Amino acid sequence: MPKVVGIGGVFFKAADPAWLAEWYEKHLGIDDLHKSVWQQEAGTTIFGPFSENTDYFGRAEQQWMINFRVDDLDGLMANLRASGIAVETRTEWNSEVGRFARIHDPEGNPVELWEPTKK
């Protein structure tokens, strides 16, 4: 049976798309789509619908949240904080699958950072 084999893109609206793409490149290392196509590393991807009543995303009107796999959560959190970006962690977010942190991009979109447990 034919099936989907991966995520080909994540698209969302922004007040200033070019500037926001630059922010993601500067702070998270995601290539600006206006310059090149980002080649991500192979790894686990979770596609998970949540209950419409969840408060996990933050704002009640928030319909989605991106989760990025990271290779060094502590190092990335330190860099983000040094750039003046608030980083939230909660013990209850961590589990056997790894450690998590949360930031918000300049337009208020929640961005989850995930360092998978090393096998």
* Beta-strand pair 66-69/98-104: unpaired
**Percent of the chain at pLDDT exceeding 70:** 100
Q: How far apart are CA 99 and CA 95, in angstroms?
A: 7
Q: Is residue 15 part of a domain?
A: no
Neighbours of 38 (CB within 10 A): 13
Q: Is residue 92 part of a domain?
A: yes
- The pLDDT assigned to 19 comes to 94
Q: Give me the domain span that covers residue 78.
A: 65-118
Q: Is residue 13 part of a domain?
A: no
Neighbours of 11 (CB within 10 A): 6
Number of domains present in the structure of the chain: 1
Look over the chain and give the mean of its residue pLDDT values, rounded to a whole number.
90
Q: What is the CATH number of the domain that holds 88?
A: 3.10.180.10
pLDDT tens track for 60-118:
888 888 999 999 999 999 999 999 999 999 999 999 999 999 999 999 999 999 999 98
Q: Is residue 9 part of a domain?
A: no
Q: Is residue 101 part of a domain?
A: yes
Q: Is residue 95 part of a domain?
A: yes
Q: Is residue 41 part of a domain?
A: no
pLDDT tens track for 9-35:
888 889 999 999 999 999 999 988 778
- The pLDDT assigned to 9 comes to 85
